[in-house]
Structure 1
């Protein structure tokens, strides 16, 4: 039975103890232990409360292996209703999120007052049919774009719109603000593979439910000019496909 496994996984993912969950439900802690060990089944009224606490459907809670397969139907999840900055003529600004402000952005991206405090600007030649945001990247995981480069992304409304092999800025609960090449496996297992163009960094996966915002990279601003003699080359898509295959094989073997 999947209820016990799902309940234990969802509880731990929210850093809740059995005592904390029992208090939310108004029952004894031993009942939570019994549910997780499949020694007892919750009443329908309790199941409904559990589905609300963990934002899952009853079908998903009872029938779907959430830990192994990820959340169900995450590819149709709406990311966020955006808070945008406007100029005096009510045109949308490109809000700039510097690396030092990325931690604050995670807590304040839905707060109009916070967003108004961030620097903003305009750029020509960008389609007016999208909302844009600029993020300063940190580190060398996406060479040849160096640390300090500003990547401008167009807002992506749904996870299903992610195109495998394209680069995106992702706002995630677990990793914060990251800029990676993304491969979409949501329909298969509810997960995204994030890949660095610098092959010194290994690919990794995140659950679709972990993603708060997605911005498809459209342009970048850098004060570092490419050096034709620089032998550092970004990883090719063929190399990335091979890395993903090896990583997924390793994941299957270790399950």
Structure 2
């Protein structure tokens, strides 16, 4: 049994065509189309060619595998509206360090082919400086209910080695050193970097400048949480005042 029935049903869904409307496009009866979609019948070769040509889909793909919605949207013909490529807006694509690829990044960070194959995030940032995105996996940069939490992510600009010592103390940086990625606040002491977490119970890390392989200065933070508009204290005080007013009225 071919995938023809599943594929034409998916085409109808993408194109928002009823069975009747689709059948009329190719001089078919609605019942015949229904039989195709349910796998009770296969189309004649003439019908197959008409449908494949109309939607610019290779006959082999239409018959031998289930097409995805994304694939169908890319086919030309009458399947989708056509837009001029010049009008398509593009944001900056930034290689993203995730929990899954971080170990490989530590080993292959300097391989352009590896970086090119990393997952990328697109954000409306314009800069000529190389960027990295990094997804938070721990609570080291949190303090009580503030700061960065797992699944938050940050974007950093590349810091050339000559500019390491120009960074201000307390700058949030992502450092690749001693076979680990460290997101901390940077403090410079002689030829050493002190990397401190915002979480009070996390010990600081000392790294020799010569051990730093890469450094990224964090310039943007994206948090999954929505900050509370208010703490609720004002509402509680108002309620107390109203209760006191009621008590005074009874006295």
If the length of structure 1 is used for normalisation, what is the TM-score? 0.49
Structure with bigger RCO (C-alpha 8 Å, 6+ apart): 1
If the length of structure 2 is used for normalisation, what is the TM-score? 0.50
Q: Rg: which structure is higher?
A: 2
